[in-house]
Amino acid sequence: MTLLVEDRGAVRILAMNRPEKRNALNTELTRALLDGLRAADAAESVRCIVLTGAGQGFCAGADLSEFKDLTPEKQHLVEERAELTMQLHLVFPKMAKPVVTAINGAAMGGGAGLAVAGDLAVMAESAKLGYPETRHGIVAAIVMANLVRQVGRKHAFELVSFGESLSSQKALAIGLVNRVVPDALAEAVTLATKLSEMNPQAIQATKQLFHEVADLSLEEALKRGRETNKRMRAFKKA
């Protein structure tokens, strides 16, 4: 099973489960993860999701062993995989429920993209994070859009051009993660539990508005905020 699913109260833990490959994202795992996130968002019993990796690593990024089939002669496979990867990274802001990532080990390339795609990110002290694509002659293409939004242009360009990995403390210093702790999963579950105890309508509206205003002009963002403000009176205590 490429994706492990565990419920702890109202928190659902999704663990990428290819430890022998450092949880590298092949097509099977990518689809399972996308389906798992959508299923968790739809489940009435779940209020918050934690994403982590089985074994010693979080996610090594794309499984390079599949690249041999992604050639110009098989353009349909190239397009299918690119679309699947894009949809995986796009699902996080579209989900109604918050996602906390528990970066328990190395998170590289597409794995780094997943690590910072959550609403909150907790990183183990010993973990590393980076975008080494240029060192392999490729581009951190799909993950770049979210990275720029997370840390700004200068930090983002340095990360995707030099391909050097960051320590947990450096990732914290530039705002890629919220916490650095010895046990990332335990802290992530603690934060997720706190979120799950909040008013669900308020959390859902907060997340929706948060992602909407991030890419709007100030005036448009304020208008969206105004509309949410008018709906707040309908929130009921969970």
Mean pLDDT taken over the chain:
92
Start-to-end CA distance of the chain, whole Å, equals 35
Indicate if 133 belongs to the active site: yes
- Contact criterion met (CB below 8 Å) for 140 and 128: no
Structure tokens at 35: 């389906």
Tens of pLDDT along 125-168?
Answer: 999 999 999 998 989 999 999 999 999 899 999 999 999 999 99
> What is the pLDDT at residue 43?
98
For residue 190, give the H/E element and its range: helix 184-196
Other CB atoms within a 10 A radius of the CB of residue 150 amount to 17
pLDDT, one tens digit for every residue, the chain (238 residues): 999 999 999 999 999 999 999 999 999 999 999 999 999 999 999 999 999 999 999 999 988 777 666 566 667 666 888 899 999 999 999 999 999 999 999 999 999 999 999 999 999 999 999 999 999 898 999 999 999 999 989 999 999 999 999 999 999 999 999 999 999 999 999 999 999 999 999 999 999 999 999 888 889 888 888 888 877 766 655 4
Exactly one of 79, 83, 133, 158 is catalytic; name it.
Answer: 133
- Contact criterion met (CB below 8 Å) for 104 and 54: no
| Domain spans in the chain, listed from the N-terminal domain onward | 3-195, 198-234
| Torsion angle of C-alpha atoms 206, 15, 182, 62, degrees rounded to 10 | -90
> What is the pLDDT at residue 215?
82
> What is the pLDDT at residue 222?
86
- Contact criterion met (CB below 8 Å) for 13 and 47: no
User: Span 3-195: which CATH code?
Assistant: 3.90.226.10
- The pTM score is 0.92
